[in-house]
Each structure stands twice: as C-alpha cells, then as structure tokens.
C-alpha cells in the first residue's frame, strides 16, 4: 500500500489484467509518433457528456503513476493517463531534441483534437505541470481546472541538480527487490518513511522488465539530451506561462520535503491566483504520488467544484 493509503484509498477499483480497469487509447503526433494513454471511464451513464480529465506525469514517469487516482476520478468522467513520447507504451522520438515541454504541449493538443474535446481538466505532476502551465498560456480557456503537483514557475536549483544526476543513466536490476532497494537508497530523502513494499509498488510504476528479463527504467534515455543544452534545465521565465492560470481554478499540491517547489514559491503562486488553493502533503518530497489521503481528499473536492 502506498504511503498515506488508508481504507479510503483502498476502495479504489484496481484490476491487474490489462483492459479490465482501463483501455488503450492511441493517437499520432504531428511528427508521426504513435502516442498512448490509458483511458479510464467507469461512469454508469455514459450517454451524459462529461468533460475529460488528463493526467500528465513527470519527466521520467509514465501513466502508471495514476493507477490509483485515475480509476477513482473516472467514476464521473473519462480520465486519460498519458504516456508522453518516449515513455511507457508511447513511441520513442527519432529526434531527441523533441523531448521538450513545447513538443509535449503539441502532443497533448493532438490528443484533445483526437477525442474532440474543447475543454478539459488537467492533473500535472512536475513536468506534467509545466506542460499544463504552457497549455494555459497558449490556449486560453482550454483548461477548466488544473492540479499542479509539486511544480511551479520557480524551480529549486538543488532539485534540478538531483534530477540531472540520474536522468538518462542506464541501470538494470535482476529482481524487483533489488530495484526497489537501489532506488530507495538514492531517494530516501524523498520518501523517508516508506517501507520496502511501498518502494516495490513505486518501482513497478516507473520500471519495466525487458525481453532479456532484466528490470530497467521505462523511458528513452535520450530524454536527457535537452538537459545538456545551455539553459536546458530551467531555460525561460515561466511566470508568464503560470499567469495563464490566473483566473482558472487551480490546486497546488506540494510535498512538505520538496526540493523542487519551495514553500515560499508555492505561497506566492497561490497568492497570484484568483481561484487558487495550496495543499501540503506531509512527510514526502518531490513529488507526492497523489495516492496520499491528503491529496485524494483535496483533489476530490477540487474536481467536484469545477463547472462543466
């Protein structure tokens, strides 16, 4: 059970067999990459139109990060848990320089066009939150409500240094236990109270078994290439992009131990929003899994208050 889980979160419908809890949704990028999302839709009345909700993961993550939250939210609307290009079941890019936020924005817009959605709610973790902010600036009115998970227009240098230290580094493990212990050893400060079982759950979300039977991270190592460019880590001033959410209902989720979203920055973000709310998840760093009770309660209330 993931940290913070309780009887409330254990009621989520979870089925291990592919196609029961979710279905595959594929679409094409403008440069010819077949992209993938998990579509969760557990509504009892699907004749009634409902605004979709998109879940966008972080830099090295994939759709499995939302395997608890997505089916929970899918009781009232279709939920698309996205695999960005180069992650999970989405295709890898031929040009590594397309692994950038602006390209991901175009890929998400292609999904919305594919499903015929003119408005949507978004849940973005880390990089997914940056994509959300850029979308809000590029397509005013598109986002009906946004959850920014441990990310903002100001990114702490220490967190960037930590990410730069592991992204794109090739490692393999013979078993899930070996993988969990190795990842836990280098990320103990992020989730200091997790048990080995919780780490196994986490690495099964972020890693995969290769045809050779070894366990590796489930992403194209070339996503690290744009980081090598001058300014590739932070790049531009993101406050103008964040201002696109000024009048959009926005929930800011911050891990109390985060080295990416500083406490002062989170408060400043909330102050600049006319419909903003900040919730801090205790005992975790970057980024909250969104399985934590505090996160689930906050997201439930937030999504329930968005006008269709």
Predicted confidence band of residue 20 (pLDDT cuts 50, 70, 90): low
Task: Give per-residue pLDDT as tens, 274-304.
Answer: 999 999 999 999 999 999 999 999 999 999 9
What is the average pLDDT across 8-13? 35
Both tokens of 36, joined, read: 């993938």
- Element housing 148 (H / E): strand 143-149
Answer whether 0.85 is exceeded by the pTM: yes
Mean pLDDT across 91-102: 96
Average pLDDT, the chain: 91
Mention every residue, 6+ apart, whose C-beta is less than 8 A from residue 188. none
Q: What is the pLDDT of residue 169?
A: 87
CA distance 50 to 105: 22
Q: In angstroms, rounded to a whole number, what is the distance separating the alpha carbons of residues 230 and 199?
A: 34
Chosen CATH of 7-168+236-304 out of 3.40.50.1820, 3.20.20.10, 3.60.15.10, 3.40.390.10 = 3.40.50.1820
The predicted model gives 156-177 an average pLDDT of 91
Give me the half-sphere count of Cα atoms (radius 13 Å) on the Cβ side of residue 221.
9
In the chain, helix, strand, coil percent, each to 5?
35, 20, 45
CB 52 within 8 A of CB 117: yes
Are residues 92 and 85 in contact, defined by beta-carbon separation less than 8 angstroms? yes
Residue boundaries of the structural domains of the chain: 7-168+236-304, 170-218
Say how far apart CA 154 and CA 133 lie, in whole Å.
12
Distance (Å, whole) CA 89 – CA 273: 35
Give the mean pLDDT of 235-241: 84
Place of tokens 């390209």: 103
Give the count of beta carbons closer than 10 Å to the beta carbon of residue 31: 13
**CA distance linking residue 237 with residue 154, whole number of Å:** 8
101-105, 122-126, 225-229, 243-247: which has the minimum mean pLDDT?
225-229
């Amino acid at each position: 059970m993931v940290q913070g889980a309780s009887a409330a979160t254990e009621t989520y419908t979870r089925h291990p067999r592919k196609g029961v809890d979710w279905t595959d949704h594929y679409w094409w990028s403008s440069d010819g990459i077949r992209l993938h999302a998990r579509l969760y839709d557990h509504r009892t009345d699907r004749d009634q139109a409902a605004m979709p909700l998109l879940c966008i993961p972080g830099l090295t993550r994939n759709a499995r990060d939302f395997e608890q939250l997505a089916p929970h939210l899918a009781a009232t609307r279709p939920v698309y848990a996205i695999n960005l290009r180069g992650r999970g079941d989405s295709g890898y890019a031929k040009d590594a320089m397309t692994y950038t936020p602006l390209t991901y924005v175009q890929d998400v817009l292609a999904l919305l066009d594919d499903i015929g959605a003119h408005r949507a709610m978004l849940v973005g973790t880390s990089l997914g939150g940056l994509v959300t902010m850029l979308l809000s600036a590029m397509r005013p009115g598109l986002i009906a409500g946004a959850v920014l998970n441990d990310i903002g227009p100001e990114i702490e240098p220490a967190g960037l240094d930590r990410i730069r230290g592991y992204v794109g580094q090739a490692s393999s493990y013979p078993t899930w236990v070996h993988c969990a212990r190795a990842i836990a050893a280098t990320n103990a400060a992020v989730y200091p109270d997790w048990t080995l079982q919780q780490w196994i759950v986490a690495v099964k979300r972020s890693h995969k078994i290769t045809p050779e039977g070894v366990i590796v991270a489930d992403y194209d190592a070339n996503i690290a290439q744009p980081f090598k460019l001058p300014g590739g880590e932070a790049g531009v001033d993101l406050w103008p992009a964040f201002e696109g959410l000024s009048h959009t209902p926005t929930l800011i989720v911050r891990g109390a131990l985060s080295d990416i979203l500083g406490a002062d920055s989170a408060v400043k973000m909330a102050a600049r929003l006319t419909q903003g709310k900040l919730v801090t998840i205790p005992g975790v760093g970057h980024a909250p899994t969104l399985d934590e009770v505090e996160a689930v309660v906050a997201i439930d209330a937030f999504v329930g208050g968005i006008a269709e």
